[in-house]
Structure 1
Amino acid sequence: MPREDPLLEISDLRTHFFTREGTVRAVDGVSLTVPRGKTVCVVGESGCGKSVTARSVLGLVDEPGRIVSGEIWWRRRGQEPVNLAQLGPRSEEMRRVRGGEISMVFQEPMASLSPMYTIGDQLVEAIRMHLPLTQEQARERATDLLRRAGIPRAEERLDAYSFQLSGGMCQRVMIAIALAADPALLIADEPTTALDVTTQARIIDLLRDLQAETGMSVLFITHDLGVVAEIADEVVVMYLGTVVERGGVDEIFHDPKHPYTNALLGSIPRMGAGAGRRLATIRGNVPHPSDRPAGCPFHPRCDAAIGGVCDVSDPPHIVFGEARSVRCVLHDDVHRSSAAEVRA
């Protein structure tokens, strides 16, 4: 059977920030898809454009940034696809999509919840913004959402303030708010980073249970490869605003094609490696997006870089089957031949 159209398809997305110091190409040609009912994890070091990509989907890019080109196709069943990149951030259609059809859970729950209003006030407001319910009906739904998010004594928590709850509880509240209108896609932007390990595991289990219950798709942004191995169906590896590799989770972990992916996997601490063994690292730092190196953006840090090739030309986009691709000259016959000529 033919593969079903993806729920979300991002094609050659470019989001730039225009500052006094110059143009920052935070997202520079990103393409990825999120299949229906699946979890896609976007991984990479801080500063590689993961969060800006997610915010671009919902029109939440702060000034002086804006989408300069590319397409973000949102495909709802039974309706015509919508290019979210062409919608105004404050347009009626974008407001209907944002929170109603696509929801987002942010990294810092304490910064997302207002300390001036109760949990119930904020949750009821999110519900009534997208669903035609009375105040009483919305409050009942809010209580049910808190229960689904694993919060004990849900009715009492409605009258609590965010500063009266732990970080883990606040993140569960944010997940409840995100689920207010039963979205088809949940974007989770490093939702477990600020939490302790035990709470992280509980939040991950909660998201998996909710996905199994509702059938929603998840776009999960993280730098924790342990989380990726646990929850991902597909993995997108980003570096300096571009996608360098994508594929199924098993393919990425057991057969990485890009040197950056391989270096990320090599930097994971290994059980039983011994106390005296140094941890593997990736040399250097991610360059600033306004000062991108010529050629492949990873070549200054790459141990497999080919002089005269990787530092000169942009890497080609090599496709391995329907859902596997890599941007690297090491997998391109033409560039390998030119590299041999350079060495000769």
Structure 2
Amino acid sequence: MAPQTAPGPDRPLLDISGLKTHFDTPEGTVRAVDGVSFTVPRGKTVCVVGESGCGKSVTARSVLGLVEEPGRIVAGSIRFAGEAGDEPVDLAALDPRGTQIRAVRGGRIGMVFQEPMAALSPLYTIGDQLVEAIRLHLPLTREAARTRAVGLLKRVGIPAADKRIDAYSFQMSGGMCQRAMIAIALACDPALLIADEPTTALDVTTQARILDLLADIQADTGTSVLFITHDLGVVAEIADEVVVMYLGTVVEQGPVDAVFHDPKHPYTRALLGSVPRMGAGARQRLATIRGHVPHPSERPDGCPFHPRCDSAVAGVCDTAQPPETALPERQRVRCVLYGDTPAAPAAATVEGAQS
């Protein structure tokens, strides 16, 4: 069951429903994203979490039509309403190389990539790349665009912005390059900022500064943020809502406090249970999730998590994908431990599974 879209000005900024993004390979079809549904409310931060290989980044790239061949969206909708009163546009139905999606990409939706040194061209200065992004969407002269670019670099905390604008990416630190990437993503005042693991390659101190920067920008502009990460500490710090993905599907979603303090799906509980905790003994063994995320082409029958799940019900979890169940506190979970499945055992609680 997909989230319900509110009518009129209360509708979410982004409404993803039944999204399927597949890759046709010589070995068969890889279902990287297989029926994902969630919304991004206006002015809120939604974090998508899960282990590597769960489809988080492909979901984010699908929003902007940036899935590389042989990947393609085969089903579902991505409805985006840039302004509160706008009629939503289904981005999934647009030509990924067409003018409509290019107007949205970088204009109404900005993207911050994981590796700024790879995303920024070493052949052009930071200013050249920023000015190009501005002039692509705004009717400004080069001089006016450069003035705006300097202001954006100052806004993201780059010192001596009027001089750094003429620097190349290899002349700047990783943290400064990530700030420049954020400036490019914010160049045209987007309604939505997609951040795909933007702090993973940074040291802890720089990571904290980038997170503070994103929080300040959101407070000042009201921009919505779709944040992709595997770091639950980051989620606890910045998220309003959490979407937990496993092997291309959403297994649980809801407000961050509800999900962290009362996780429902066994995968969510296992993720939270594996987070190192202050005060744990020096020799205390770190909890882990047994097994590993299989390749999407080797997806098991039934619930995709059941081979690793300690609460799996034989003859149930290995036969059919469980339906999504709506729970109190706006949580939604896809698990046979909830809903109308006959003889489903009661959900266990993981001690300490909270932020």
The 2-side partners of 1:240 and 1:130 are apart by 36
Q: Answer whether contact 2:258 2:329 (CA < 8 A) is retained.
A: no
8 Å CA contact 1:7–1:74 kept in 2: the answer is yes
Distance 1:334 1:105 in 2: 41
Within 5 Å, give how 1:175-186 maps onto structure 2: 175-186=182-193
Q: For residues 123-144 of structure 1, what are the alpha-carbon distances to aligned partners after superposition, in whole Å with 9 as ceiling and x for unaligned? A: 0000000110001000000000
- 1:332 deviates by 2.1
- Which portions of structure 1, spanning 4 or more consecutive aligned residues, are displaced by more than 3 angstroms? none
- For the 8 Å contact 2:115–2:198, the answer to whether it is kept is yes
Partners of 1:158 and 1:46 lie apart in 2 by 35
> Once the two structures are aligned, what percentage of the paired residues are identical?
76
1:194 paired with 2:197, answer: no
Residue 321 of structure 1: how far off its partner (Å): 4.6
CA distance in 2, matches of 1:334, 1:79: 41
Residues 193 and 223, structure 2, Cα contact 8 Å, conserved in 1: yes
Paired residue for 1:38?
A: 44
Check whether the contact 2:19–2:76 (CA below 8 A) recurs between aligned residues.
yes
1:75 is displaced (CA, Å) by 1.2
Q: How does 1:138-287 map to 2 (within 5 A)?
A: 138-287=145-294
Q: Secondary structure at the match of 2:330?
A: coil
TM-score of the two chains, using structure 2 as the length reference: 0.93
Structure 1 gaps, min length 5 = none
- 1:20 equivalent to 2:26? Answer yes
Tell me the distance in 2 between the aligned counterparts of 1:240 and 1:86. Answer: 24
Q: Secondary structure at the match of 1:139?
A: helix
C-alpha deviation, 1:316, in angstroms: 1.6
* Cα distance in 2 between the residues matched to 1:97 and 1:272: 47
Please state whether the residue corresponding to 2:205 is helix, strand or coil. Answer: helix
Q: Is the 8 A contact 1:43 1:237 kept in 2?
A: yes
| Residue 85 (structure 1) aligns with | 92
Superposed CA deviations along residues 256-277 of structure 1, whole A, max 9, x for unmatched, are 0000000000000011111111
The residue number in structure 1 matching 2:339 is: 332
For 2:207 and 2:168, how far apart are their aligned partners in 1? 22
Following superposition, the deviation at residue 90 of structure 1 comes to 1.1
Are residue 55 (structure 1) and residue 53 (structure 2) matched? no
Deviations 1:301-325 (A, max 9, x none): 0000011110111112101258320
Q: Secondary structure at the match of 2:296?
A: coil
Alpha-carbon shift at residue 42 of structure 1 (Å)? 0.2
* CA distances 1:46-68 after superposition (whole Å, capped 9, x unpaired): 00000000000000000000000
Q: 1:331 offset after TM fit, Å?
A: 0.6
Asked if 1 retains the 8 angstrom alpha-carbon contact of 2:322 and 2:335, the reply is: yes
Aligned to 2:352: none
Shift of 1:297: 0.3
How many residues are aligned here? 339
Q: Which moved more, 1:144-153 or 1:3-12?
A: 3-12
**Separation in 1, partners of 2:155, 2:273:** 37
Could you tell me how far apart the structure 2 residues matched to 1:104 and 1:90 are? 17
**Distance in 2 between the 1:89 and 1:112 partners?**
19
SS at match of 2:311: coil
Distance 2:249 2:57 in 1: 13
Q: Which moved more, 1:307-316 or 1:75-84?
A: 75-84
Alignment partners' CA distance in 1, 2:285 and 2:329: 38
Secondary structure (helix, strand or coil) at the match of 2:341 reads: helix
Partner Cα distance (1:173, 1:113) in 2: 9
Distance 2:120 2:81 in 1: 30
Which amino acid is the alignment partner of residue 75 of structure 1? A
Question: 1:309, 1:335 within 8 Å by CA — same for their partners in 2?
Answer: no
Partner of 2:74 in structure 1?
68
Write the distance in 1 (CA, Å) between the matches of 2:296 and 2:149: 42
Are the equivalent residues in 1 in contact too, given 2:153–2:180 (CA < 8 A)? yes
Which amino acid counterpart does residue 310 of structure 2 have in structure 1?
D
Q: What amino acid does structure 2 have at the position aligned with 1:196?
A: D
Q: Does 1:313 align with 2:320?
A: yes
Give secondary structure in 1 for the equivalent of 2:216.
Answer: helix
Counterpart-to-counterpart distance in 1, 2:138 and 2:330: 36
Q: Distance in 1 between matches of 2:268 and 2:323?
A: 16
> Cα–Cα, structure 1 residues 84 and 172, in superposed 2: closer, same or farther, change >3 Å?
same
Q: Provide the C-alpha distance between the structure 2 equivalents of 1:134 and 1:153, rounded to a whole number of angstroms.
A: 23
TM-score (norm 1): 0.96
Give 1:333 shift.
2.9
Report the CA distance between 1:292 and its aligned residue: 0.5
